[in-house]
Each structure stands twice: as C-alpha cells, then as structure tokens.
Chains A and B, each alone.
Chain A
Amino acid sequence: MLVELWNEYWPLLSAMLVVLIAIPTLGLYMTYIERKVAAAMQDRIGPNRVGPLGLLQAVADGLKIFLKEQVVPAHVDKWIYLTAPAIGVVTSMLAFAVVPFGPVSPEGPHTGFRFIIAPGVEIGLVFIFAVSSLSAYAIILGGWASNNKYSLYGAIRSCAQFISYEIPLGMSVLGVFAITGSMNLEKIVYQQSSFLEWNIWWQPLAALIFFTSALAESNRLPFDLSECEQELVGGFHTEYSGIKFVLFFLAEYTHVVTISFLTVLLFFGGWHLPGLTDPADPTAMGTALRLLVLLAKVGVVVFFIMMLRWTLPRFRFDQLMGLAWKGFIPLSLFNLLGVMIVISLDLSPYWMTLFSLIVFLVAGALNVSQLNNRLRSPSSPTIRTRAEGAY
C-alpha cells in the first residue's frame, strides 16, 4: 500500500521539492547577482565582505530578515495587510507548476523523475496567465490595507499597468498557439526541435511584445512605476518591512524567473540547440546536456533583464500607458491578422516573418513622423525647445 503510494507520488514530490527549494534560494541569490551586475555596470565592486566574493551575502541577508522586528503599524487593516505578501508569493510560485524546468517529452513517460510539476496540462500557458494575474490582488490589497497615500497610489498605478500589459501579453502568444495547435508548453517546445523552426523566426514581433509586456507585468525597472523611489518612496510596499517586504520581492524574482523560462520555451526553442543536443537521445548524458542548454538560455535572459535595469531610464506614467494601449495593442492586433491570413491560406510560415517586419517598420515610421510633427508645433506641451524655457 505505502509502496504503491510512494511509487505513484515520488516523481511529483521530488519535482515539487526541487522547485520549492530552488525558487527561494534563487530569489536570495538573484539579489546578490543583481547587485554584482549593477556594480560591474557602474564600475563598483559590489558585495564582497561576507564569504569569498561575497557569496554568503545572500545567506546573511536571509538570516537577518528572519530575525528582524515585525512591524505591523497601527493604522493598517491588519489581516489584509498580513495576507497580501503571502498571496503574492503563492500566486507567483503556483504559476511555475506547468513550466518545464528541464527536458520533458509531451508523451511521457511520467514515471521517473521529471522536470515539471504538472505534466500534460493542456491549457498550459493560459493557466500561467490566469494564476500570475492574481498577483495583482497582492499589490492592490497590500496598497489598500497600508492606509498610506504612497502605497495606495503605487498600488493603483501598478494595477492599471498590470491590466494594460495583460492584453498584449495574451495576444502576442496567439501566433505561437496557432503554429503549434496547442497551449501546452511541452508540446510547444517539442515542435521547435530544429533551429529553423524556433518560433522567434516566425514571430519576431510577437516575441518582442511578449518579452516587454512580461517585463512590465513583473514590475521590473524600466516599468517599475508602482515603486519608483523618487516619487512614491516604495510604492505599494512602503509600509512593509522585514519578511513581508522580502515576500513581495520573492514574488517579483519568481516572476522574473518564470518570464525568462517562458521566453526561452516559447520563442527560443527551449532545451533544443542544434548541433549540441539531440531531441531523441534518451540517455542521462543527453538529458543533462539539454538541461544545461535550457538553464544557460534562461541565464542569458535573466542577465539581459538585469542589464536592462541599469541601461534604460524609467518611463513616465503616460508613456507607460501609451506604450501598452497605443503601441502594443494595435501592433499585436496586426500581428494576429497576419497570422490569421497566413494560416488560413496555408502559406509558408515565413510570410509571418515578413508581415511582422512590415508591421514593425510601418509602426516605427509612423512614430517618427508623429514625433517630428510634435517637435515642429511650438504649442506642444510634451516637448519644448530650450528657447521656450525648457532645459
């Protein structure tokens, strides 16, 4: 009896254990890596006191957080205030349930150790969108319960940003679904086994929109209007400290890891790298190689996100909403139209590439001409020349 139960559930339990241990550890170490990357980009040294190369900094931080005073201010709605960070963590972790974090085959076998918690979930990506959009509740409840003006404004801004970018995010993956005929991430990766079948070649515009919107969803720096220090102190987490603050950040880093995985799995061929990995190789060596390829690709994306943080300045709020509603939504609608036409006429998928590029170039040209018009009209409030008193 017990042996049967064990045989049935150990693949699930082991996969769960790996994720539940890896995510918080990764969260702590990503703060360290982020500080190191920031330091390197700004010509500083970064954390180097605790342990060799400062590697134990994350451990020290974790210990300090656990022993810190737990401040629950008198003016907050106590229960909502305490639940909000937990909601954030649970939803962002739950989104990872259907993400393959190593090579898996859509047909199984699902008996041994597997690199996914819940294999064979057909709604795959929609599940991730559904669950991770629940984390808007964490932000808005936290901001509302804090009873602080900065918190409330941060939460409202963040919520508006979150729902605005949800639409281009959901629309940009439709092309991938149409190509694969499935929303299951395992099948989507399986379909991209040769280099020229990676979705990035067919849906370059969708990849760009997806990555940028996902970045906005995770409140990372070019889009972190909800917590911009100069305007709103800490935004929705102004009143949070100690472990509750860290839970919010754990949720954010989990989100970053998830979107890095999704970008790689959806558009960059997952664990496939032609010339190095063989999708049909069932040996342990082949599996390890594919795992390494996947993790390396994800590492590159995470590093790219960190570089973006120190490269791009923060958006203004009207620019942020404008990018979603005036830029990404029409662009992804046109992209979808292209996918529709190409697929219904049974054309080669490379027509989608052409269509994407044309849409992208036309949109860019329109934008430039609009900007030129605005620069020419002297009454424009957005851009003024130095002679008019701007500096």
Chain B
Amino acid sequence: MAEYFPILIYFVAALGVALFSAIAPHLIAPRKPTKIKDMPYESGMDPKGDARQPLDVRFYLIAILFLIFDVELLYLYPWAVSIQGEDGLPRELRPLVLGVMLVLLITLAIAYLVARRKGVFDWRRR
C-alpha cells in the first residue's frame, strides 16, 4: 500500500488549495445582497414554483443500464490485465477463462439487444 501514500498527501494538498481559493475571496470580496440578486436567474422571468420537479423516466432507465454495464466492466479489467504474458494466467486456464468471458459478453449482448428493442435508447418517440 506504500505507493498509495503519496496520493493521500496529494489529496490533502489539493483539498487545501481548493478550500483556500474557495474561502479566501469571501474574506476580501465585497458582499452587497439585494432582493433581485437573491432571485433564481430564469431569463428575467419571475420563477414559478420549486425547481425540483419530477424527471423523465428515461434518465432512471439510463442509470440502471449504466449500473449493469459498469459492473460488467469491473469483471473485464482483471481479465484484460492477466490474459497475456508470462506472469499472467497459467496457460492451461486461458481457454476456460476465455469461454467464461464469452458467456459474460453474450449475456450482456442479449441484455443490450432487449433494452434496444424496448426503445430505452430512443430519446424521441417515433
């Protein structure tokens, strides 16, 4: 884990820089709030109601599909790293692993095709 220690130090330093540049102007800059400045900017119209309204269901569908594909990607990373070279997987295991990966990909392709036929990716109704 020793090689991750610099990242921790760097994280603290970057956080320091970000917080400094976010806070310092608050100490020196003027602050003159007016009623108009405190209004939401909606192209000069008076805002109606709350901004946080229900969203289109497609956004949720995309989020769910993202989860499926991203988890699948997680399985592919260790495979890609260890498939080749001398210090990778033992040679006799490689055909088996390839078969497993192909099953995974085919399952995924079927899921993708189902989603596509259902029109998840069509943002405009035909």
Q: B59 near A147 (CB under 8 angstroms)? A: no
A144 in contact with B52 (CB, 8 Å): yes
Q: Known contacts A340-B98, A344-B95, A381-B126; is A148 also within 8 Å of B6 by CB?
A: no
Complex Cα spacing A16 to B8, Å: 12
Q: List A contacts of B55 (CB < 8 A).
A: 156
> Given A69, A71, A118, A122, which contacts B6 in the complex, CB threshold below 8 Å?
A118
The number of inter-chain residue pairs (CB within 8 angstroms) is 208
User: A151 CA to B33 CA in the complex, in Å?
Assistant: 21
In the complex, A163 Cα to B67 Cα: how many Å?
A: 9
Interface members, chain B 9-25 (any A CB < 8 Å): 9-11, 13-15, 17-19, 21-22, 24-25
Q: Are B15 and A90 touching (Cβ within 8 A)?
A: yes
For B17, list chain A residues within 8 Å (CB): 20, 24, 89, 93
Q: How far is the CB of B82 from chain A (nearest CB, A)?
A: 7
Are A121 and B4 also in contact (CB < 8 A) when A20-B17, A329-B69 are?
A: yes
List the A side residues contacting B126 at CB < 8 Å. Answer: 381
Chain B positions 95-126 with a Cβ under 8 Å from a chain A Cβ: 95, 98, 101-102, 105, 108-109, 112, 116, 120-124, 126
Does more than half of chain A's interface fall in helix, strand or loop, or is it mixed?
A: helix
Chain A contact-residue range equals: 35 or more
- Determine how close the nearest CB of chain B comes to the CB of A360; give it in whole angstroms: 19
Give the residue of B22, B80, B94 whose beta carbon is less than 8 angstroms from that of A244. Answer: B22
Please report the C-alpha to C-alpha distance between residue A148 and residue B41 in the assembled complex, in whole angstroms.
7
Are A181 and B63 in contact (CB-based, < 8 A)? no
Provide the bound-state CA to CA distance between A238 and B43, in Å. 10
Q: Which of A70-122 contact B (CB under 8 A)?
A: 70-71, 73-75, 82, 85-86, 89-90, 93-94, 97-98, 117-122
B38 to chain A, nearest CB (A): 4
Q: B89 → chain A, closest Cβ, in Å? A: 10
Q: A69-B30, A146-B40 are in contact. List 15 more A-B contacts (CB 8 A).
A: A20-B17, A69-B32, A73-B40, A82-B22, A85-B22, A89-B21, A94-B11, A118-B7, A152-B51, A152-B52, A167-B73, A170-B73, A318-B122, A333-B105, A340-B102
**Shortest beta-carbon contacts, A-B, top 3:** A318-B123, A74-B38, A177-B80
